[in-house]
Amino acid sequence: MESVLVQAQNAPRVEHGVAAWRMRAAIDDVKKTIDVLFQLDSTLAMWIKQLHRAQPWRPYRVAVIFSKSSSVLVDGVRNYDPEPIIGRMVQAKNGRWRFYRLRGALIHMKLVDLRVGKGLPGDTVVIRILEEIEDLLKRRAELMEALVASRRGGPGKRSALYAHLTRSADKAIDLAERVKLDWSVDPLAAEETLRAARREKIQRYKARKSAEASQGLPLGPASGSEQS
């Protein structure tokens, strides 16, 4: 009974599994980020509509649309989410307007510098709208960067870790066969096993020395390992 009590008191707790609370916190954080992103896109859509109303409909006017652009790989399938894209509207000969995405040096220009109808009535309103749109786009990029950073390098790291864990588990199984004395079962019995092995070793040593003495053989030097 004493050995069982000792085992219960001294044995370390080995609880394995997922870090449930950290996982829940991570999922909750991502969910809140997505909720904010949804609200941001809804607000951005409102400002885009006002830009569509307030800016003069002239060639190369600034436009922001939601369209499928960059992709994300999920379960081996490439998916596309609508995201805001900045561009300009160009009128074709048939009178229809076409959207062209900003490229080259235009990407780095401020939206207010790309507007048309500068100085016309309502220009200050257009400036205010473009400044707000640019600020929302910047904030959206920061949110998206946080989401992307959580996945960056993830698939490759997970594959490498799975391979490492497989090798580590095999080593643990192999090592388990080399554990001859299991202290977790009964520490007191393990201690007694060690003492018994030591007594047996001493007895064998004494018996050998006694046999050598009876045969008149010179006594060899005592082995340090046997006297220890």
Of 127, 151, 175, the one marking the end of a domain is: 151
pLDDT of 217 higher than 80: no
Of 151, 181, 207, the one marking the end of a domain is: 151
pLDDT of 38 higher than 90: yes
Q: For residue 90, is it within any domain?
A: yes
Based on the fold, state whether residues 135 and 26 are members of the same structural domain.
Answer: yes
Q: What is the overall mean pLDDT for the chain? A: 84
Q: For residue 58, is it within any domain?
A: yes
User: b vs e for 128-137, b when ≥16 Cβ sit within 10 Å of the residue's Cβ?
Assistant: ebbebbbebb
Based on the fold, state whether residues 166 and 147 are members of the same structural domain.
Answer: no
Minimum mean pLDDT range among 62-71, 75-84, 214-223: 214-223
| Kind of pairing between the strands at 97-101 and 77-91 | antiparallel
Q: For residue 194, is it within any domain?
A: yes
pLDDT of 227 higher than 60: no
Based on the fold, state whether residues 211 and 140 are members of the same structural domain.
Answer: no
Single pTM value for the model: 0.66
Based on the fold, state whether residues 125 and 216 are members of the same structural domain.
Answer: no
pLDDT of 140 higher than 80: yes
pLDDT of 11 higher than 50: no
Other residues' Cβ atoms within 10 Å of the Cβ of residue 55: 22
Of 104, 130, 151, the one marking the end of a domain is: 151
Overall domain count for the chain: 2
Looking at residue 2, what is its pLDDT? 44
Based on the fold, state whether residues 35 and 141 are members of the same structural domain.
Answer: yes
- CA distance linking residue 26 with residue 67, whole number of Å: 29
Q: Which of 14-28, 146-160, 176-190 has the highest mean pLDDT?
A: 176-190
Q: For residue 182, is it within any domain?
A: yes
Looking at residue 153, what is its pLDDT? 66
What residues make up the domain containing 72?
A: 20-151
